[in-house]
């Protein structure tokens, strides 16, 4: 007989923390269940439940404890107000039914009496025995009914109702054991067990002169310390999920409603009750998750998130249940807001830092919310958009586009949703496009139209033949190559140096003619003069043009060249003088 | 010696009463004049004593400036009333205290003045109003004053009289100023209020209001008194006279078919008195008050629908409150609800009677009990038991001081009339004992308590008897409105929901959103306490603020600090709030309680305007969506406008209440249609965006549209309406971003802004920009045009300025 894992619950981080226990929604679901508080069976009449409550209250007010022990003795008792509230729950039929579903029907369950004794004892051995029961084990107690048509439906229904009652008990048992184990509570084991032993067995090893525990995270992390309640809770939710999807569950619920005999509830309430139960189960998990998040127990919060996403309950249920937790995460995000706050000037570095922090948060939140039930990715995207909007309001020159785009690339990377990524990408590409407004040559400074270089081309448009002549018609087009004032002045300087180059070439020619007179001096003169002239300017152009900038003569990558080429213009003429634009404009006029 | 409260007081808007439970009978106490009703009126003359009751009510007609009536409607507000003759200024609590004092005086004529009594309040009273009632009781010398909801008191009176043992019924309580309707179930003698509804600004005086309004219309038609506005201070006396006459005529019409409305001395014109007179019959009265009665029946229908009950399933409807005696009221109710409406007992005193019955179940605190007569020392017993129960075998537990007892004492209970003697219950070492009794069914059972020592000696005990009523018990009252805490982001965390049984308590853990530095004077973490039903915090009433003040914290608190907030509400709706900060291990219970807010006409008008816009939007949406839910009718809009026009305090409060109700109904309609509305909006936007992008967009824009479409569908599938709404807004923002790239957008915006500048008379300021804009259009310089548009937008009033998110700031 295997011992219940919960019976050997390891002390949780909250063991002995009575405040945390008092806040536990999971534990309180069972501790304050009215059937437990009043010590009555689920089929008790409302009046008798009320009388029981009156007696309990009378005793409580006089300082007397209840006369009988209640089930789940490891959970504390109820105070006067809680007894009153329990009595009231019994008088509200829908509320009563909701509580009933998350309690134990000892009467309807064929093995209910065993469970009752085990829970009241408590008797871990008997609990383990009950836990290990399967549906097949109940067949002996629930006789088969011959399948002979509608006449036997009542018997079939009764049989199924008992089976479902047993299944519900099994699910609830695991639920209460899981929540109890979260706080280091539960039925203690006869052989002492891990709980009495006070902790996990540690194994030590010697490492570089130090004694270290082997893999402590496995013992105290999600796979070790928390494994017991996590496995229990996972199974509880899986069982409940299966029950809720069982086509006979509404019939089971209808049976409960009929048994209650209160005309304020009817079969029409089955669906709302089922929905309420789903919501309640989700709320229990979310409530515990909130406790863990606020206590800083991220591992356990992640575990609960995993359990939630794998539970089989519909995602919509979890989305709604988790929504209130968003404020916790929003508060965490809000601490970063000062970096991008609109109330004070913000630098690009601030935004970059903000994005770094967001990235770190995003990574840790992804572990908590891998299935997007909490909607944390949406919060990150909202924050990314705040950063994005802030960048858009920054005043930066065109030369700063590179740095801005680098930050935006980071923002795009951090964003989770495609729409946000696309939006940032679109903006980035438009910013890149603004680079065309930079000087074609240096790509650093803004253009100044007044200093544009000019590229002209001509294209033949036709020929007209006269008497003895042919006229060729051309269209000439001049387009500016936009450059900054600095590059224009440099180019002008180079142009002026061209005169010096001519002079140098002339001197070289003369020298060559003289030196090589009689042996092709003219030819040598022309050759050398050309080399000197060309080389002089090229050398000068290369020397004075900064690295990674286009040389004065490099118009081939410009838009003007591209356009002229596309439109078939040839015989290009290139004017890179200082006032080339004005000259061209003057010509046009 | 009384050990239970026994006194019940109905503190009404128009009339008050006091009753006392003596054994199994309930008696209404009489005033010096022999009547059982005390008009809730005050007259403060220049000299002499303040007058309360009928004398004050009579004086109110002749000298309204120095009289006050219907001040219950002002309970919980900051409003005070100044009485010019004496110069005295009284708050609503002080005025109510005078009425209570008078009633206590009636009781003092028969025995020692009670220092404890149950006082009734309307079920829909908000917490500040309940607090004000408690304060009034304290001022009147009533040291212990549990509050009881009026419908419950009426139900107790009705049920306790043996009228109904099983079944459902409605208690329709129409008082002078408030209306409450409760759905009650009686099962095996157990009385339970399942649900209730009501309106704190709806009562019999509204009947008088509509009749007085008709009279005022006649006066205006005759024209002798000009505009004859209620807000005209000089005419306040005239309107009081009209109202008093309206009340008189209304009461008269309950006895006869016709009456004459006549006020000879209404107001003076040129030294002579002008009056008004016209005939009024029951039929006309019915048509005048019909809409008011239908407001009450609408609330009844809402209550029944909420509980999925029909009229056929009810045993009946019990009428409570003087205005229900108005002749056509039961007829109108029966027509609307298809339910027999009847008076089961005197509707004007039922509440006081029920309060007294309830008071007999409430233990009198020991310090308020009279000294015991007699010289023989007795053993004092502290008994715990349910004085009213359906349990045939209840438990009684008692405690004595063991030091005063010899060993081996046992207690026995012997039923008077014979038939039962309990087994002796030994007193334990702590002085406790428990007795199991057997009761005669459905009757008052009196038991004599005997203390005997081990030697058989009988010891004197006090009390020496105990009384239990079998066959009737009352469930604890439900909370009339949910109570919770406002969270950042206009959200609400509900602690105790409407219908929760009182007393109730809940603790929720939150995290702070701001940091608090120790000693930072004046700074605090504020936790607003709310009462209402809306999921949006600003739609509810703030009833108080629980503060964690910086002056009291032991160390700095960072943002995100855990705070456990506990809200408790006792049976009398007394609310306490406490906060525990684990980081400090400190409790905070500094609660600043708010009064009821009283709005000015302009604020109410603004609120109405907002609701009219929402109404128009919903009507449009309903027309667009096939089979969409229709928005609530806007007849009330006209009614609200008329009330605002009247301008007096009461009318404004009523108008505010109606606007709030409209807002709640529109919230519900919006919630119901939210999903379909979102889907509709998204599809419409998608069509517009797709068309625009086909002309002006690029690949990146198309990618964004696709991504948004997928994300919207996913959000709808997950049922995440907030996320879906965010995606709709993202799509709208994309539309504007793309549109901004087109010259047409800027030209259109410029033309629109130019028009607005003209309408707002800002042309002189905007002239230069307008010239530049026109030039830019001619030159097709859209960068300049965009800059001009931004300039012009900055000149608009704040609420008209387009959000910066729509306008790109890249330069």
For A375-386, the pLDDT digits (tens) are 899 999 999 999
Please report how the helices B763-779 and B743-759 are oriented relative to each other, as an axis angle in degrees rounded to 10. Answer: 160
Which residues of chain A are within 8 Å of residue B701 when distances are taken between CB atoms?
A: 426
**What per-residue confidence (pLDDT) applies to B462?**
83
Please name the residue of chain B whose CA is at the shortest distance from the CA of residue A61: B384
User: Residue B738 and residue A249: Cα distance in Å, rounded?
Assistant: 53
Residue A140 — pLDDT band, cuts 50, 70, 90?
low
Residue of A403 and A218 predicted with greater confidence: A403
Average pLDDT along chain A: 83
Q: Which of A264, A389, A418 sits opposite B707 (nearest CB)?
A: A418
pLDDT 10s digits, B291-318: 889 999 999 999 999 888 998 889 889 9
Tell me, yes or no, if A319 comes closer than 8 A to chain B by beta carbon. yes
Closest approach of A400 to chain B, Cα-based (Å): 11
How many CB pairs lie under 8 A apart between chains A and B? 154
CB B677 within 8 A of CB B721: no
A267 touching B (Cβ < 8 Å): no
Which three-class secondary structure state does DSSP give residue A297? coil
Whether residues B809 and A393 touch (CB distance < 8 A) is answered with: yes
Helix residue spans in A121-268 (DSSP H): 124-131, 153-182, 193-197, 216-220, 227-245, 249-260
Rounded to 10 deg, the angle between the B635-646 and B601-624 helix axes is: 170
Q: What is the pLDDT of residues A420-452, one digit of tens each?
A: 999 899 888 888 877 777 788 888 787 787 888
CATH of B377-473, one of 3.40.190.10, 3.40.50.300, 2.60.40.10, 2.130.10.10: 2.60.40.10
B164-342: which CATH topology? Nucleotidyltransferase; domain 5 (3.30.420)
* Burial of A14 from C-beta contacts in 10 A (0-12 / 13-18 / 19+): buried
- State the pLDDT at residue B626: 53
CA distances from A354 to A335, A364, A370, B264 (A): 10, 16, 23, 78
Would you tell me the crossing angle of helices B782-795 and B743-759 to the nearest 10 degrees?
A: 30
Low-confidence ranges of chain B (pLDDT < 50): 628, 630-632, 803-811
Q: Which residues of chain B lie closer than 8 angstroms to A81, CB-CB?
A: 503-505
In chain B, CATH 2.60.40.10 sits at 377-473
Whether A163 has a pLDDT exceeding 80, the answer reads yes
Where in the sequence of chain B do the CATH 2.60.34.10 domains occur? Answer: 482-593
CB atoms within 10 A of CB B528: 19
Residue A368 banded pLDDT, cuts 50, 70, 90: confident
Does domain B482-593 sit in CATH 2.60.34.10?
Answer: yes
Cβ <8 Å between B707 and A315: no
Res. A372: pLDDT tops 50: yes
Residue B304 to residue B273: CA distance in whole angstroms: 51
CB contact under 8 A, B395 and A58: yes
DSSP track, B162-223: TS-SSEEEEEEEE-SS-EEEEEEEEETTEEEEEEEEEETT-SHHHHHHHHHHHHHHHHHHH-
SS3 B449: strand
Cα–Cα distance measured from residue A231 to residue A174, given in angstroms and rounded to the nearest whole number: 9
Assigned CATH class of B1-162+344-368 = alpha beta
Q: Residue B738's closest chain A neighbor by CA?
A: A426
A417/B contact by beta carbon, under 8 A: yes
Query: Which residues in chain B are contacts of A23 at CB distance < 8 A?
Result: 507, 509, 564
Q: Name residues whose C-beta falls within 8 Å of residue B106's C-beta, 6 or more positions apart in sequence.
A: B18, B29, B30, B31, B32, B38
Give me the residue label for tokens 């509900």: B494
Taking the CA atoms of residue A575, residue A579, residue A583 and residue A586 in that order, the dihedral angle to the nearest 10 degrees is 150
**Is A392 within 8 Å of chain B by CB?**
yes
pLDDT > 70? residue A223: no
CB A501 within 8 A of CB A509: no
B560 contact residues in A (CB cutoff 8 A): 328, 331-332, 335
- Give B259 or A70, the one with higher predicted confidence: B259
- Contact present, A335 and A341 (Cβ < 8 Å): no
Residue among A19, A51, A334 whose CB faces B513 most closely:
A334
Phi-psi region of A138 (alpha: psi -120 to 50; beta: other; left: phi over 0): alpha
Least confident of A180-194, A450-464, B76-90: A180-194
> Above pLDDT 70, what percent of chain A?
87
**Numbered ranges of CATH 3.30.420.40 in chain B:** 1-162+344-368, 164-342
pLDDT band with cut points at 50, 70 and 90 for residue A410: very high
Indicate the pairing of strand B524-532 with strand B575-581. unpaired
Q: Which residues lie below 8 Å from residue A504, measured CB to CB, with a gap of 6+?
A: A532, A533, A536
What is residue A200's three-state secondary structure? Answer: coil
ipTM exceeding cut-off 0.85 for this assembly: no
In this prediction, residue A184 carries a pLDDT of 86
Stretch 93-132 of chain A: residues touching chain B, C-beta under 8 Å: none
Q: For residue A191, name the pLDDT band (cuts at 50, 70, 90).
A: very low
Categorize the per-residue pLDDT at A479 as very low, low, confident or very high, splitting at 50, 70 and 90.
Answer: confident
Chain B residues with beta carbon closer than 8 angstroms to that of A57: 386
Whether residue A389 is predicted with pLDDT greater than 80 in this model: the reply is: yes
Query: Mutate which of A55, A57, A380 to disrupt the B interface (most B C-beta within 10 Å)?
Result: A55
Instruction: Choose, out of A88, A334, A342, the residue to mutate when testing the contact with B (most B CBs < 10 Å).
Output: A88
Burial of B294 (0-12, 13-18, 19+ CB in 10 A): middle
Query: What pLDDT shows up at residue B228?
Result: 79
């Amino acid at each position: 007989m295997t011992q219940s894992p919960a019976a050997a619950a390891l002390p949780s981080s909250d063991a002995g923390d009575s405040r945390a226990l008092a806040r536990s929604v999971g534990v309180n679901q069972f501790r304050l269940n009215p059937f437990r508080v009043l010590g009555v069976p689920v089929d008790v009449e409302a009046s008798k439940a009320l009388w029981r409550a009156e007696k309990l209250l009378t005793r409580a007010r006089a300082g007397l404890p209840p006369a009988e022990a209640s089930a789940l003795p490891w959970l504390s008792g109820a105070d006067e107000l809680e007894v009153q509230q329990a009595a009231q729950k019994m008088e509200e039929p829908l509320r009563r039914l909701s509580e009933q579903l998350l309690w134990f029907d000892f009467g309807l369950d064929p093995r209910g009496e065993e469970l009752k004794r085990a829970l009241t004892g408590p008797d871990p051995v008997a609990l383990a025995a009950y836990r290990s029961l399967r549906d097949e084990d109940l067949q002996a107690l629930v006789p088969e009914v011959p399948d002979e048509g509608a006449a036997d439906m009542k018997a079939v229904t009764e049989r199924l109702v008992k089976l479902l009652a047993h299944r519900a008990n099994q699910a609830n048992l695991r639920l209460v054991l899981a929540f109890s184990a979260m706080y280091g509570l539960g039925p203690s084991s006869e052989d002492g067990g891990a709980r009495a032993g006070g902790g996990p067995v540690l194994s030590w090893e010697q490492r570089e002169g130090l004694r270290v525990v082997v893999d402590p995270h496995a013992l105290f992390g999600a796979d070790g310390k928390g494994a017991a309640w996590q496995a229990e809770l996972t199974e509880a939710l899986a069982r409940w999920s299966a029950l809720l999807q069982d086509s006979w569950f509404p019939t089971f619920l209808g049976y409960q409603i009929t048994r209650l005999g209160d005309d304020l509830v009817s079969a029409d309430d089955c669906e709302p009750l089922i929905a309420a139960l789903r919501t309640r189960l989700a709320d229990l998990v979310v409530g515990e998750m909130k406790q863990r998040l606020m206590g800083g127990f991220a591992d356990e919060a992640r575990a609960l998130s995993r359990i939630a996403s794998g539970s089989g309950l519909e995602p919509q249920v979890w989305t709604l249940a988790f929504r209130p937790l968003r404020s916790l995460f929003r508060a965490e995000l809000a601490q970063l807001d000062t970096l991008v706050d609109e109330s004070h000037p913000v630098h690009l570095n601030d935004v970059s830092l903000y994005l770094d922090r967001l990235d770190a948060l995003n990574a840790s939140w992804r572990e908590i919310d891998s299935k997007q039930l909490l909607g944390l990715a949406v919060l990150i995207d909202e924050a990314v958009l705040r950063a994005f909007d802030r960048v858009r309001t920054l005043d930066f020159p065109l030369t700063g586009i590179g740095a801005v785009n680098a930050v935006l690339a980071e923002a795009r990377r951090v964003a989770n949703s495609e729409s946000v990524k696309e939006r940032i990408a679109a903006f980035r590409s438009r910013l890149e496009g603004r680079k065309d407004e930079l000087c074609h040559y240096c790509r650093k400074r803004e253009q100044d139209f007044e200093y544009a270089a000019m590229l002209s081309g001509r294209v033949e448009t036709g020929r007209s033949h006269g008497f003895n002549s042919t006229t060729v018609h051309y269209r000439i087009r001049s387009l500016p190559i936009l450059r900054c004032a600095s590059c224009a002045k440099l180019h002008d300087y180079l142009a002026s140096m061209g005169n010096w180059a001519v002079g140098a070439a002339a001197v070289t020619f003369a020298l060559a003619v003289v030196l090589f007179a009689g042996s092709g001096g003219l030819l040598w003169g022309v050759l050398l003069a050309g080399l000197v002239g060309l080389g002089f300017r090229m050398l000068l152009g290369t020397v004075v043009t900064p690295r990674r900038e286009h040389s004065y003569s490099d118009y081939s990558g410009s838009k003007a060249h591209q356009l002229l080429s596309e439109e078939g213009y040839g015989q290009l003429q290139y004017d890179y003088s200082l006032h080339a634009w004005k000259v061209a404009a003057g010509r046009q006029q | 010696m009384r050990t239970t409260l026994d006194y019940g007081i109905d503190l009404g808007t128009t009339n008050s009463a006091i009753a006392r439970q003596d054994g199994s009978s309930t008696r209404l106490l009489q005033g010096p004049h022999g009547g059982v009703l005390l008009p809730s009126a005050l007259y403060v003359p220049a000299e002499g004593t303040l007058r309360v009751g009928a004398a004050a009510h009579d004086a109110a007609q002749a000298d309204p400036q120095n009289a006050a009536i219907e001040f219950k409607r002002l309970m919980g507000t900051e409003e005070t009333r100044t009485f010019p003759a004496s110069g005295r200024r009284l708050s609503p609590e002080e005025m109510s205290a005078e009425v209570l004092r008078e009633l206590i005086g009636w009781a003092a004529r028969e025995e020692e003045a009670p220092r404890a009594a149950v006082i009734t309040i309307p079920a829909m009273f908000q917490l500040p109003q309940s607090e004000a009632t408690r304060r009034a009781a304290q001022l009147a010398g009533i040291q212990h004053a549990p509050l009881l909801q009026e419908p419950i008191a009426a139900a107790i009176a009705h049920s306790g009289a043996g009228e109904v043992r099983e079944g459902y019924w409605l208690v329709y309580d129409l008082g002078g100023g408030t209306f409450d309707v409760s759905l009650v179930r009686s099962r095996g003698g157990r009385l339970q209020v399942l649900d209730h509804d009501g309106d704190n600004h709806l009562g019999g005086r509204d009947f008088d209001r509509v009749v007085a309004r008709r009279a005022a219309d006649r006066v205006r038609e005759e024209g002798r008194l000009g505009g004859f506005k209620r807000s005209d201070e000089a005419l306040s006396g005239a309107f009081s006279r009209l109202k008093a006459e309206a009340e008189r005529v209304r009461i008269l019409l309950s006895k006869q078919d016709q009456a004459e409305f006549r006020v000879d001395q209404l107001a003076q014109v040129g030294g002579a008195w002008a009056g008004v007179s016209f005939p009024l019959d029951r039929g006309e009265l019915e048509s005048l008050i019909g809409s008011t009665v239908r407001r009450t029946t609408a609330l009844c229908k809402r209550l029944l629908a909420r509980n999925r009950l029909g009229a056929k399933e009810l045993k009946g409807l019990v009428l409570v409150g003087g205005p229900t005696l108005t002749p056509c009221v039961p007829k109108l109710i029966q027509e609307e609800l298809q339910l027999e409406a009847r008076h089961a007992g005197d509707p004007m005193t039922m509440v006081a009677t029920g309060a007294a019955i309830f008071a007999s179940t409430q233990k009198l605190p020991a310090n308020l009990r009279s000294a015991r007569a007699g010289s023989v020392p007795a053993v004092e017993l502290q008994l715990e038991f349910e004085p009213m129960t359906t349990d045939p075998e209840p438990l009684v537990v008692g405690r004595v001081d063991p030091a005063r007892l010899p060993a081996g004492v046992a207690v026995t209970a012997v039923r008077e009339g014979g038939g039962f003697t309990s087994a002796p219950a030994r007193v334990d070492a702590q002085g406790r004992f428990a007795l199991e009794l057997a009761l005669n069914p459905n009757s008052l059972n009196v038991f004599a308590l005997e203390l005997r020592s081990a030697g058989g000696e009988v010891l004197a005990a006090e009390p020496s008897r105990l009384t239990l009523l079998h066959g009737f018990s009352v469930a604890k009252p439900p909370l009339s409105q949910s109570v919770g805490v406002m969270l950042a982001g206009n959200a609400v965390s509900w602690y105790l929901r409407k219908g929760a049984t009182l007393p109730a308590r809940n603790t929720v853990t939150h995290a702070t959103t701001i940091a608090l530095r120790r000693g930072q004077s004046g700074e605090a973490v504020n936790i607003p306490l709310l009462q209402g039903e809306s999921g949006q915090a600003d739609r509810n009433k703030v009833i108080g603020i629980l503060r964690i003040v910086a002056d009291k914290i032991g160390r700095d608190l960072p943002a995100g600090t855990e705070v456990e907030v506990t809200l408790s509400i006792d049976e009398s709706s007394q609310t306490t709030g406490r906060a525990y900060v684990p980081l400090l291990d400190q409790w905070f219970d500094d609660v600043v309680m708010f009064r009821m807010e009283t709005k000015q006409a302009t604020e109410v008008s603004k609120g109405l305007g907002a609701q009219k816009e929402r109404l128009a939007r919903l009507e449009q949406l309903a027309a667009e969506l096939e089979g969409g839910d229709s928005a609530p009718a806007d007849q009330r809009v006209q009614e609200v406008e008329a009330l605002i026009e009247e301008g007096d305090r009461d009318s404004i409060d009523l108008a505010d209440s109606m606007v709030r109700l409209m807002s709640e109904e529109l919230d519900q309609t919006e919630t119901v249609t939210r999903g379909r509305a979102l889907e509709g909006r998204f599809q419409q936007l998608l069509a517009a965006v797709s068309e625009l992008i086909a002309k002006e967009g690029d690949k990146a824009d198309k990618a964004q549209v696709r991504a948004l479409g997928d994300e919207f569908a996913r959000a709808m599938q997950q049922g995440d309406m907030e996320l879906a709404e965010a995606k709709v807004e993202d799509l709208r923002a994309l539309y504007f971003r793309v549109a901004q790239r087109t010259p047409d957008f800027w030209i259109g915006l410029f033309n629109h802004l130019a028009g607005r500048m003209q309408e707002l008379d800002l042309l002189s300021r905007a002239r230069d920009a307008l010239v530049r804009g026109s030039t830019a259009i001619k030159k097709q310089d859209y960068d300049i045009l965009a800059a001009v548009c931004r300039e012009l937008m900055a000149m608009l009033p704040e609420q008209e300025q387009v959000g910066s998110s729509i306008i790109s700031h890249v330069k």
